[in-house]
Amino acid sequence: MTTIKTQKHGNNRVSSPKIGTKPAPTAVSHKHSVWDETTHSKDAQIAKSGRRWWTAYSWRLRITDLLVITSVTFLAFSLRFGLDDPTERERYGQVGYFWLSVGIAILWMADLEICRSREKRVFGGGVVEYRRVLGSTVRVFGSVAIVMAVLKVDVIRGFFAVALPLGIALLLLSRWLWRQWLSKQRKNGNYLSDVVVLGSAVDVEYVIHQLRTNLSAGYRVAGAALSSLDKSMELRPPWYKIPVLSTMADISRVVLVTGADAVIVAGPLPGGPETIQQLGWRLEDLSTELVLASNLTNIAGPRVHFRPVEGLPLMHVELPQYSGGKHIFKRAMDIILSSFALLVLIPVLLALTLIVRMDSSGPAFFRQERVGRNGESFKMYKFRSMVVDAEEKLVGLAKQNETDGLMFKMANDPRVTRCGRWMRKFSLDELPQFWNVLLGNMSLVGPRPPLATEVAHYEQPTHRRLLIKPGITGLWQVSGRSDLKWEEAVRLDLYYVENWSFMGDIVILWRTFRAMRSSAGAY
């Protein structure tokens, strides 16, 4: 067994050099390290119990939900039946509307618990938590409405008109506010679950990178256990930043040493399913979760369904939907929101038009041929942020391209005008694209609209970006924009194409406003 020795600290935890310090060479030994397993086991379990942050966090959510639900039901009852109108209360008192309101509140709280809206796996990232809160609220009020309809009680409709929309809005807002708090905590290294990543060196390296890039997942890598290790990789990132403690054969001891809350299996393991099954049994005795990193790249959870068959659990992956009812609904949302945006932004559009015309010679608007859904070309509109002959000057700047792949980007592009720099910084030059959305050439959310010259060099499977309409914003914009590498931008676009959802679009639109404020990667 190959063990890479690492430093020990006072609390008997094994840790690595801090990020930013010069990495020290890692000694490789083929001998077992001397561990006091009893001591380490006790210390790890104490540390583990102290890191059960999700218990306290879930109780905070329960208290917040209770306050919201109590306030909403009380307000809805008061507005519908009146606080100081005994006649109104007497008229409907025989049905007991006060106790009905209390019952709805209790049922609401219970359903939020049953649907696991406060489960640690949904904390901090993704839309699952919001979807469960929304589904629970609609389910509770829908069930009560059916019962009231059967009993022919129509007075409750006024109660619903207040409680349902207000409850959804406040619950989602409270969850979002808690997420902002949790996100700040995680950036400071708090409220993270320690994990050990198990697998081959290449697979472990990829998983570590993804976990560090996406702290919203809530994992902090406490160690790695490798099924194979190339000595030449020892001082490469990320190996000098985390302890490589053991091979997979000694995973139980690694979990005890690190006090890890979970073990993430990165890719296939030697021995196949039997190895994973035995690993699950060993971790069960340690009260440690087993997490499998799926090999189904770019397939999101909503498309994956499990069908239990005795002795053969089957995992069904739904086909991605590129047309149908969901896209009709998406188009309706595009029309409504783009029309509203154009009306509200009329003063801003007029002001920017005047500024662009006064800043440099040439038209205020820039029209460019872009490729849309199914390879169809369209004219995309933007405020002109460059000099008029920018396309001709591009040839001379080709060698100064600061990005890889097919796109051309320069942080200090000399073709950009004075007003163009601050318009690009806050994405104001893209506001005219709401007109493209209204016309149906683009969508509010979608892949980046490519140039014809880019599409001509597409390789498999990059052309799949053209299966749906391009968007004003998308995962590429809220994840770094021009700072992204070409491969990462393509991966995000393909992920969106195959896994988009209405709730996901809402989250991306919201994240876009935050990205515009930070202006990261905007040039």
- Dihedral, CA atoms, 502, 507, 510, 515, nearest 10 degrees? -130
Nearest to 247 by CA among 194, 198, 295: 198
Q: Which two tokens stand for residue 135?
A: 């589904």
Instruction: For Cα atoms 89, 90, 92, give the angle at the middle one, nearest 5 degrees.
Output: 70
pLDDT at residue number 134: 92
Would you state the structure tokens that stand for residue 154, as one six-digit string? 């129509």
The fold adopted by the segment(s) 3-34+192-295 is Rossmann fold (3.40.50)
Task: Please report the sign of the dihedral spanned by the C-alpha atoms of residue 478, residue 484, residue 490, residue 492.
Answer: negative
Is 450 strand, coil or helix? coil
Contact 433, 366 (CB under 8 A): no
DSSP element (H, E) containing 28: strand 28-29
Beta strands in 45-130 (DSSP E): none
**Which residues are paired to 226 by β-bridges?**
199, 247
Could you tell me the CA-to-CA distances from 165 to 90, 109, 138, 155, 329 in Å, in that order? Answer: 27, 16, 10, 17, 20
Question: What local confidence, expressed as pLDDT, does residue 237 receive?
Answer: 59
User: Amino acid identity of 302?
Assistant: P
Q: Which tokens in the block code for residue 393?
A: 């000057």
Domains of the chain, residue spans: 3-34+192-295, 53-186, 325-518
Give all strands (DSSP E) within 187-257, no chain letters. Answer: 193-199, 219-226, 244-247
pLDDT, position 193? 87
Rounded to whole angstroms, the Cα distance separating 395 from 391 reads 8
List of residues 6+ apart from 97 with CB closer than 8 A = 77, 80, 81, 89, 155, 156, 159
The pLDDT value given to residue 138: 92
pLDDT of res. 9? 34
Handedness of CA 61, 53, 302, 312 (dihedral sign): negative
Residue spans of alpha helices (H) in 398-466: 418-425, 433-439, 452-455
Which residue, 195, 196, 242, 193, is CA-closest to 218? 193
How far is it, in rounded angstroms, from Cα 108 to Cα 445? 33
**pLDDT of amino acid 232:** 60
Question: How far is residue 369's CA from residue 462's CA, in Å, rounded to a whole number?
Answer: 19
DSSP state of 216: G
pLDDT in tens, the chain (523 residues): 333 333 333 333 333 333 233 333 333 333 333 334 444 444 444 444 445 788 889 999 999 999 999 999 989 888 876 544 555 555 544 456 778 888 899 999 999 999 999 988 888 777 889 989 999 999 999 888 888 778 776 656 778 888 999 999 999 999 999 998 998 888 888 888 888 888 888 788 888 888 887 777 788 888 888 877 666 655 565 655 677 776 666 777 888 888 888 888 887 787 777 778 788 888 887 888 888 876 555 555 566 666 665 556 666 666 666 677 788 889 999 999 999 999 999 999 999 999 999 988 889 999 999 999 988 999 999 999 998 887 777 777 767 766 666 667 777 778 888 898 889 888 899 999 999 999 999 999 999 898 888 888 887 788 888 888 999 998 887 876 666 777 778 888 888 888 888 888 888 888 888 777 665 555 4
